[in-house]
């Protein structure tokens, strides 16, 4: 049983930290040369569940869904891990497994229920659901099982670590390829009956950019070019899959300019990643223009790389937004949390490097040969920790301290930034999709 715990711990933590470790090179493109209007039409929709609502109560929209990564994830990664690696492998017969995000991650909702997120509160896309009167959102993925038809599936398909492009790497692919944005879109279409005026918030590109930068830094030009092309093809496939199956409104948000993200803050040469981001942005815009030639009124693209809502503008705007509400100096680029650790069953703590050293392939082989298990609990918590880990007594106190920070960690914004951006996104949605 101890070996099983080690196996699931490593798998879970590897998934949780995929945004920091993934380096992708595709094996094959996501789409063929068939007509773009045929993309996604092969999906079996015979078992879809209808959860559409009266548009009069939701600013004209009949339903709302999210496709994306950790910037939209609320219980997405933790649900996916349990659904794929525990429930769908029948390991839940032997183990009571739960993965949670804690420390500077996660929050309690109005009902006192704890939710895992790569922020200390609700994410932008999740907040938009509430602002459009659809209420809170449950997570869903291709492995999710229907509890009852009245409740339906969750409507937030975003998963922390998600990319547009897929990877042929056996270990990484086992984790992330099942929740690429194209796979998310296909799961959505397979599970949800599309209404007459549904809205999708689609945000992606950050993790793809991290992979591109890593390939660039390793001077692997072939991998860089191939992955960029694969990523763009997958974005194209995601958009056409949704629109070809009846989605009427998509707000698409791309990745930010990377030179001011804390992960690259101390990088000596930044122009190369700025230029790389520009190339990616140009290719995204070409896809957007192609899609709009078929669906001129159904897609709106907002760029975090450039334009009126680019990342520097958002960072500056948030600083002005909270200027009178904070006592300390505004930390626009310094992350609140500096390290990640894994806590197992509330006591044993590992760093990522310690977990990477575990030979979990050996445990997989032994697990296949084993036939007897004693059901036990395995609670794995991925924590984002600041240097002073004991500086708050409860989540309210933690959140007040974090209010002066833009970034929770080296990549993800704090809850207050999400709240600020959600207002911008709501205005954008109501303006563009009248």
359: pLDDT strictly greater than 70 = no
Q: Are 204 and 280 in contact (CB under 8 A)?
A: no
Beta strand extents in 263-338 (DSSP E only): 299-304
Confidence of residue 14 (pLDDT cuts 50, 70, 90): low
Question: Both tokens of residue 413?
Answer: 């914004």
User: What is the number of H-type helices and E-type strands within the chain?
Assistant: 14, 10
Which residues is 140 bridged to in the sheet?
none
- The answer to whether residue 303 scores a pLDDT higher than 80 is yes
Min mean pLDDT across 143-147, 309-313, 359-363 is at 359-363
Q: In 377-414, where does DSSP find H-type helix? A: 395-402
Structure-token pair, residue 393: 């007594």
The percent of residues in the chain predicted with pLDDT above 90, rounded, is 69
Per-residue pLDDT averaged across 136-165, rounded? 94
Beta strands in 95-152 (DSSP E): 95-103, 107-108, 114-115
The residues facing 114 across adjacent strands are: 108
Smallest Cα–Cα separation from 201: which of 141, 126, 279?
A: 126
Within 10 Å of residue 434's Cβ, how many Cβ atoms? 8
Mean pLDDT of 96-107: 94
Mean pLDDT of the chain: 88
Of 207, 279, 131, 190, give the one whose Cα is nearest residue 123: 131
Distance from C-alpha of 102 to C-alpha of 343, rounded to nearest angstrom: 9
The tens digit of pLDDT for each residue in 391-420 reads 899 999 999 999 999 999 999 999 999 999
Residue 22: per-residue pLDDT: 44
Buried b (16+ CB within 10 A) or exposed e, 220-251: eeebbebbbebbbbbbbbbbbbbbbbebbbbb
Q: Tokens 């709240």 correspond to what residue? A: 419
At 371 the pLDDT is 53
Separation CA 6–CA 3 (nearest Å): 5
Q: Angle 74-398-401 (CA atoms, 0-180°, nearest 5)? A: 115
Q: Which of 40, 49, 41 is nearest to 191 (CA)?
A: 49
What gap in Å lies between CA 135 and CA 110, rounded to an integer? Answer: 12
* Residues whose CB is less than 8 angstroms from the CB of residue 191 and which lie 6 or more positions away in sequence, other chains included: 47, 48, 49, 140, 144, 146, 152, 153
Whether pLDDT at 208 is above 60: yes
Taking only the tens place, the pLDDT of each residue in 39-63 is 999 999 999 999 999 999 999 999 9
Nearest alpha carbon to residue 180 among 206, 161, 154: 161
Per-residue tokens: 367:
């697990």
- The backbone torsions φ and ψ at residue 276, rounded to the nearest 5 degrees and listed phi first, read -65, -40
pLDDT at 1 over 70: no
Contact 49, 193 (CB under 8 A): yes
Predicted TM-score (pTM) of this structure? 0.91
- Domain locations along the chain: 2-432
Distance of CA 201 to the CA centre of its chain: 12
Note whether 106 and 100 are within 8 A (CB). Answer: yes
Q: How far is CA 33 from the centre of its chain?
A: 29
Taking alpha carbons only, the member of 190, 241, 249 closest to residue 55 is 249
């Amino acid at each position: 049983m101890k070996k099983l715990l080690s196996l699931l711990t490593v798998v879970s933590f590897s998934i949780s930290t995929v945004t920091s470790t993934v380096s992708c090179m595709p094996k094959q493109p996501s789409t063929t040369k068939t007509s773009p209007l045929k993309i996604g039409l092969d999906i079996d929709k015979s078992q879809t569940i209808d959860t559409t609502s009266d548009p009069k109560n939701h600013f004209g929209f009949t339903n709302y869904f999210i496709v994306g990564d950790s910037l939209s994830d609320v219980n997405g990664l933790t649900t996916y891990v349990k659904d794929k690696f525990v429930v769908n492998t029948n390991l839940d017969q032997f183990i009571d497994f739960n993965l949670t995000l804690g420390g500077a991650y996660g929050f309690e909702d109005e009902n006192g229920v704890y939710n895992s997120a790569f922020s200390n509160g609700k994410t932008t896309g999740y907040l938009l659901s509430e602002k459009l009167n659809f209420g809170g959102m449950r997570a869903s993925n291709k492995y999710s099982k229907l509890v009852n038809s009245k409740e339906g599936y969750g409507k937030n398909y975003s998963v922390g670590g998600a990319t547009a492009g897929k990877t042929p790497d056996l270990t990484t692919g086992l984790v992330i390829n099942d929740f690429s944005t194209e796979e998310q879109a296909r799961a959505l279409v397979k599970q949800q009956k599309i209404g007459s005026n549904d809205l999708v918030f689609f945000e992606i590109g950050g993790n793809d950019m991290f992979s591109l930068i890593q390939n660039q830094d390793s001077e692997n030009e072939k991998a860089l070019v191939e992955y960029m092309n694969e990523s763009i093809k997958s974005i194209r496939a995601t958009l056409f899959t949704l629109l070809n199956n009846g989605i009427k409104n998509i707000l698409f948000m791309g990745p930010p300019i990377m030179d001011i993200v804390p992960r690259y803050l101390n990088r000596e040469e930044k122009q190369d990643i700025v230029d790389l981001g520009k190339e990616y942005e140009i290719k995204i815009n070409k896809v957007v223009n192609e899609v709009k030639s078929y669906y001129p009124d159904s897609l709106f693209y907002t760029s975090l790389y450039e334009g009126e809502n680019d990342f520097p503008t958002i960072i500056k705007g948030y600083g002005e937004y909270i200027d009178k509400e904070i006592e300390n100096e505004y930390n626009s680029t310094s992350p609140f949390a500096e390290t990640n650790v894994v806590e197992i069953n509330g006591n044993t703590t590992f760093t990522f490097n310690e977990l990477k050293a575990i030979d979990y392939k050996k445990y997989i082989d032994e697990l296949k040969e084993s036939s007897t298990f004693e059901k036990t609990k395995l609670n794995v918590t991925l924590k984002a920790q600041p240097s002073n880990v004991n500086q708050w007594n409860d989540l309210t106190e933690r959140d007040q301290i974090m209010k002066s920070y833009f970034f929770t960690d080296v990549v993800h914004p704090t809850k207050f930034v999400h709240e600020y951006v959600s207002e911008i996104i709501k205005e954008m949605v109501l303006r563009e999709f009248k």
